[in-house]
Amino acid sequence: MSSLAGRNVLVTGSTQGVGQAIVIAAAKAGANVVIHGLHADDSAKETRRTCLETGVDAQLVTGDLTDSQGVQDIFDAALRANPEIDTLVNNAGTYLDVPFIEMEYEHFDKTMRLNVYAYFFLTQYFARHWITHSTAGRVLMIGSINGRLAEDVHTAYDTSKGGVEMMVKSVAVSLAKHNIRVNGLAPGLFYTPLTAKALDDPEFMHWMQQHTPNGDVPGPEVCGESAIYLLSDAAKHVCGHMLMVDGGMSVWQQPDP
């Protein structure tokens, strides 16, 4: 794994799933980390313990990112926890199983506020801070295979993740001249506590394996390893790129049944 020694990383939504895998991988790669969750629950505390066991500093901040005040509060709390933060991973997100024809404004709005607005404005807060302090910042935005491939009942989520992919490109262009590097990572479907119910169905798991070229449905730890590469000096000339971590599903036009 690439090294993040000397870096200070905030990962939003990092008490479970992909975010948790990324923050633990960052700690194992030598970075001091700030973990973020909605609440200081058992999962948040266990994530912090796991990070501390690697020998780095690990802090925990909590709060809701679905409104502008919440974004400001998390920015302030994270810098209080670690004033040297130089790396941001925007990961916290939500999705709703609501078909397009039934989608209500407030449900769509909530999805956009957490999946798009929070990414945009938390990155803006840190970019302003880093520019003021001449910090070589790094940003990773977690998208999804759904930013390229649509699903019937995930219209709001798909739209938000398509927005994230373009945000990676446009913000990368905007911030490159300030020595702030922006990239994205787009996971496919992984085995996590949130997906276990679906993937524990043998028929659905078989479908997933058939529609994934490498036939694998791994845990989120593979996202952690990919994220560390994009945040490390090994990817210093990678800018504005969305790395698909999906076993090849997004490039397979016609899966063979």
The whole-number average pLDDT for the span 218-242 is 96
Q: Is residue 151 part of a domain?
A: yes
Q: Is residue 256 part of a domain?
A: no
Give me the pLDDT at residue 56, please. Answer: 98
Give the pTM.
Answer: 0.96
Whether 141 has a pLDDT exceeding 90, the answer reads yes
Give me the pLDDT at residue 96, please. Answer: 85
Whether 204 has a pLDDT exceeding 80, the answer reads yes
Show Cβ contacts of residue 63 under 8 Å, excluding neighbours closer than 6 positions: 36, 38, 70, 73, 74, 77
Q: Predicted confidence band at 257 (pLDDT cuts at 50, 70, 90)?
A: low
Q: Mean pLDDT of all residues in the chain? A: 95
Which entry of 117, 157, 191, 229 is annotated as an active-site residue? 157
Give me the pLDDT at residue 2, please. Answer: 86
User: Which one has a higher pLDDT value, 33 or 256?
Assistant: 33
Q: Is residue 53 part of a domain?
A: yes
Give me the pLDDT at residue 95, please. Answer: 86
Give me the pLDDT at residue 228, please. Answer: 98
User: Which one has a higher pLDDT value, 45 or 151?
Assistant: 45
Using one digit for the tens of pLDDT, what is the confidence trace for 6-28? 999 999 999 999 999 999 999 99
Number of domains in the chain: 1
Whether 196 has a pLDDT exceeding 90, the answer reads no
105 is catalytic: no
Q: Predicted confidence band at 178 (pLDDT cuts at 50, 70, 90)?
A: very high
Q: Predicted confidence band at 168 (pLDDT cuts at 50, 70, 90)?
A: very high
The whole-number average pLDDT for the span 21-49 is 98
Whether 186 has a pLDDT exceeding 90, the answer reads yes
Q: Is residue 58 part of a domain?
A: yes
Show Cβ contacts of residue 8 under 8 Å, excluding neighbours closer than 6 positions: 31, 32, 33, 34, 82, 84, 85, 86, 87
CATH number at residue 238: 3.40.50.720
Give me the pLDDT at residue 253, please. Answer: 83
Q: Is residue 34 part of a domain?
A: yes
Whether 254 has a pLDDT exceeding 80, the answer reads no
The whole-number average pLDDT for the span 189-205 is 87
Q: Predicted confidence band at 89 (pLDDT cuts at 50, 70, 90)?
A: very high
Task: Domain of residue 122: give its range.
Answer: 8-244
Q: Kindly give the interhelix angle for 118-132 and 68-81, rounded to the nearest 10 degrees.
A: 40
Q: Is residue 179 part of a domain?
A: yes
Give me the pLDDT at residue 55, please. Answer: 98
Q: Is residue 253 part of a domain?
A: no
Q: Is residue 94 part of a domain?
A: yes
Show Cβ contacts of residue 163 under 8 Å, excluding neighbours closer than 6 positions: 112, 115, 116, 147
Cβ(20)–Cβ(46) under 8 Å?
no
Q: Predicted confidence band at 1 (pLDDT cuts at 50, 70, 90)?
A: low
Give me the pLDDT at residue 255, please. Answer: 76
